[in-house]
Amino acid sequence: MTKDFLCLSDWTLEDLEKIFDLTRELKEKQKEGTPHKLLEGQTLGMLFEKSSTRTRVSFEVSMFQLGGHALFLHSGTTQMGRGEPIKDTARVMARYCDGIMIRTYSQAAIEEFAEQCYVPVINGLTDLYHPCQLMADLFTVSEHKKDYRNLKYCWIGDGNNMANSWINAAAVFGFELRVATPKGYEANAEVISQAEKAGAKLIFSNDPQEAAAGADVLNTDVWASMGQEEEQQEREKAFAGFQINSELVKLAAPQSVVMHCLPAHRDEEITDEVIEGPHSIIFDEAENRLHVQKAIMATMMAR
Ligand code: CP
Ligand code: NVA
């Protein structure tokens, strides 16, 4: 087990499955109203350089339910926003907090922060990865399907932080992952090469129909991520045909499930009909951010 949770492939399958076991236990306790104050008296510092609804709320509620406290900081209102070096901020925050969650742009910045910080650091999304979301996603599949590691997964859309994290997950968990992106919007080449070296079963194409055919799990995300808002129009053109809609779902396995990390642009990358339809497990996926992050923090921060 490493000190930090920055990227799924830093962790072993065994450790990640232990986190899923604890997630199941904590979710059950929360549903039956049994206290599970595993982090009593501890504080999580949450540093955001980008917007958030789910990540902020789920981490804050997680810490409350674990008997601790979460502190919300937006970079614009901190000295970091005025240029205080990352390494100084990291060293100071480590002296106040028992764990830090950061949402920022660069993966290198979060890695530098973690190096300088002796308490655990959790990646709440960077341009490169979104590992907590992936843990929630896979846990959700495991609740809906037997043998979640033996399914065919597909990613349709942008080769963004979520796609990169799915590629990491394919390497660690060993499932088949088909990735269909428009030309010029592929996932990170270094991430792909590392996953392939680790034996990941990855199939790349520019054809969403081919990727969806017979798939058990269909996944997508917005076409323009945070920080790419100015590219929205040109991306809409490039991604035409990459929508998850009822026709595409019909090509998948009959009992397929559809996922989206949210926020979604309804009727753009995914139709309203599919989000609200019988294959969608999107809101269970959102709920599980809470349960899985409690298990991640309890694993990393327990004294
Ligand atoms: N899925 C996700 O991370 O959502 P937020 O941007 O609302 O945190
Ligand atoms: N790819 C999206 C994910 C949001 C949770 C983004 O980075 O904006």
| DSSP codes joined into one string, 7-36 | -GGGS-HHHHHHHHHHHHHHHHHHHHT---
Assigned token pair, 130: 């979104």
Using 50, 70 and 90 to split pLDDT, how confident is the model at 160? very high
**Backbone φ and ψ of 218, nearest 5°:** -110, 135
pTM surpassing 0.75? Answer: yes
Q: For 163-222, how does the pLDDT look when each residue is reduced to its tens digit (9 = 90+)?
A: 999 999 999 999 999 999 999 999 999 999 999 999 999 999 999 999 999 999 999 999
Give yes or no: residues 160 and 218 share one domain: yes
Q: Which ligand is nearest to the CA of 225?
A: 2
Mean pLDDT of the 101-120 span? 95
C-alpha of residue 263 to centroid of ligand 1, in Å: 6
Q: Evaluate if residue 1 carries a pLDDT over 80.
A: no
3 inside domain: no
Beta bridge partners of 118: none
pLDDT in tens, 174-186: 999 999 999 999 9
Q: Identify the residues whose C-beta falls under 6 Å from ligand 1.
A: 52-55, 125, 133, 261-263
* Active-site residue, from 56, 235, 260, 289: 289
Residue 1 is assigned to a structural domain of this protein: no
Ligand nearest to the CA of 60: 1
pLDDT at 230 exceeding the cut of 90: yes
pLDDT value at residue 86: 84
75: pLDDT strictly greater than 90: no
CATH number of the domain within which 189 lies: 3.40.50.1370
Q: Which pLDDT score, from 0 to 100, does residue 303 have?
A: 85
- Which residue has the CA at smallest separation from atom 6 of ligand 1? 52
Catalytic residue among 7, 261, 279, 291: 261
90 and 137 share one domain = no
DSSP 270: B
- Binning pLDDT at 50, 70 and 90, where does residue 2 land? confident
Q: Which domain holds residue 80?
A: 8-130+287-301
Averaged pLDDT, 62-84: 95
CA of 261 to the centre of ligand 1 (A): 7
